[in-house]
Amino acid sequence: AQTVTQSQPEMSVQEAETVTLSCTYDTSESDYYLFWYKQPPSRQMILVIRQEAYKQQNATENRFSVNFQKAAKSFSLKISDSQLGDAAMYFCAFGFTGNQFYFGTGTSLTVIP
Amino acid sequence: DSGVTQTPKHLITATGQRVTLRCSPRSGDLSVYWYQQSLDQGLQFLIQYYNGEERAKGNILERFSAQQFPDLHSELNLSSLELGDSALYFCASSAPSTGPNTGELFFGEGSRLTVL
C-alpha cells in the first residue's frame, strides 16, 4: 500500500527561527516524485518544493529545504528564518506522473511573532 | 496562477439537489484529479482521469460521478446532495503532453460547495 504519514498534526515556531516538519512514506516503487504543498488560510494549494526520488541531492528553494532519505523513506521539510506568511497547513505528498498522488494528513504550522 | 481553472468558485444549494463542477486543466496536461476537502480536513482523493479514461478511483460516493472530455476538461457531478457534502472540491492536473515534466500536481483554486 502507498501511504504518507505526517506524525505532527500541529507545530509552532518563533518568527526568524527554524522548524522541521516530518514526513515518512511507503512505496515499493523506485521512481517517483516527492512534494511539500502549503495551504494558507485562503485554502489555495501552493507547491513549496519538489524532489525527484532518483536524485540524491536534497532540493532547496530559498528558505525551504528538504532532507530526503530514500532508504528510510523519509522526506522532511526545513523552514529557515520563519516568517509570519509561512503560517499554513503543510502537506507532504508523493506521486507518479500520470498516475495517483498520495497525500499526508497535514501539519498545521503556527508562526509566533 | 497554476493554469488550472475551476468553475464555479462558490456554490450554495439545497439538500437533494444536483450540481456540476467544471475543471479546465493546464494547457496540454493529460491527467485530471478531483479531491474533496472538508473543513479542517485533509485531501480526500476522489478520482483521476488520464486522456479521457478513468485511471484511478478513490473514496468517491456512488452519488458522485465524473468524466473527462475529448478536449481534456473534466466535470464532477454531485447528486442527491447531503449536508456532509459541503466541502472544497479541488481539481488538479499533471502529465504534460509536451514540454518539460516537473512531475507535480497543479491545483485549481477550488469550488466551495455549501449544502443547506
pLDDT tens-digit profile, chain A (113 residues) = 889 999 999 999 999 999 999 999 999 888 899 999 999 999 999 999 999 999 989 999 999 999 999 999 999 999 999 999 999 999 999 998 778 899 999 999 999 99
Is the pLDDT higher at A55 or at B101?
A: A55
Mutate to test the interface with B, among A8, A97, A103 (most CBs of B within 10 A): A97
- Which three three-digit cell numbers place residue B79? 447528486
| Closest-CA distance of chain B to residue A98, Å | 5
- Residue A25, pLDDT score: 96
What burial letters (b/e) apply to B94-103, b meaning 16+ CB within 10 Å?
A: bbbeeeeeeb
DSSP state of B104: P
Chain B contact set for A97 (CB, 8 A): 94-95, 101, 103
User: H/E/C letters for each residue in B18-61?
Assistant: CEEEEEECCCCEEEEEEEEECCCCCCEEEEEEECCEEEEECCCC
Choose among A65, A88, A94: nearest CA to A10. Answer: A88
Mutate to test the interface with B, among A36, A94, A101 (most CBs of B within 10 A): A101
Q: What angle do CA B109, B3, B97 make, to 5 degrees?
A: 130
Cα–Cα dist A84/A75, whole Å: 24
- Residue A47, pLDDT score: 95
At B29-66, the pLDDT tens digits run 999 999 999 987 889 999 999 999 999 999 899 999 99
| Closest-CA distance of chain A to residue B90, Å | 9
At B70-99, the pLDDT tens digits run 999 999 999 999 999 999 999 999 987 777
Choose among B77, B41, B74, B27: nearest CA to B55. Answer: B74
What phi, psi does A100 have (nearest 5°)? Answer: -70, 150
| Closest-CA distance of chain B to residue A34, Å | 8
CA atoms B13, B14, B19, B22: torsion sign = positive
Judge: B102–A45 Cβ closer than 8 Å, yes or no: no
